[in-house]
C-alpha cells in the first residue's frame, strides 16, 4: 500500500498540486475540521459510494490516525483505484482546516 506523510501532503498543497482527498472519518469527527477540498465518505459507506470516484484519478485517503484509511485503501485498491494512505491521519496533520 502506498503511503505519504502529512509533510508530503503539505508540500503538495504548497506546490498547488491538484489533489483528491477522501476523508473516511465519521460525521462527528469531521465537524472538527477537514483537509481543504476533501470529500467526506465515512468508511462504512465506501462500498456503496465508489461510483462517485473516478478510476482515472489518484486519491489520498485520511482518517483520524491512519488505520481506517488504510482499510479503505485496501478495499479501494482491490477495486482498481490508485490510493495512498495518509500516515498518522488527522492527528498528524497541522495544515489548514475547512469546516463544513
Q: What is the chain's Cα-based Rg?
A: 12
Other CB atoms within a 10 A radius of the CB of residue 40 amount to 16
Catalytic hit among 9, 62, 63, 83: 63
Q: What are phi and psi for residue 28, nearest 5 degrees?
A: -65, -25
∠ CA 15-39-60, nearest 5°, is: 50
CB 23 within 8 A of CB 35: yes
63 is catalytic: yes
CB 52 within 8 A of CB 92: no
- Catalytic positions: 63
Amino acid at each position: 500500500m502506498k503511503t505519504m506523510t502529512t509533510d508530503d501532503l503539505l508540500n503538495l498543497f504548497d506546490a498547488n498540486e491538484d489533489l483528491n482527498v477522501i476523508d473516511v472519518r465519521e460525521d462527528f469527527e469531521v465537524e472538527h475540521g477537514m483537509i481543504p477540498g476533501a470529500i467526506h465518505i465515512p468508511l462504512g459507506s465506501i462500498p456503496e459510494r465508489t461510483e462517485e470516484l473516478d478510476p482515472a484519478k489518484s486519491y489520498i485517503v485520511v482518517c483520524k490516525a491512519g488505520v481506517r484509511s488504510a482499510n479503505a485503501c485496501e478495499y479501494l485498491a482491490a477495486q482498481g483505484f490508485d490510493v495512498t494512505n495518509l500516515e498518522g491521519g488527522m492527528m498528524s496533520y497541522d495544515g489548514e482546516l475547512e469546516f463544513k
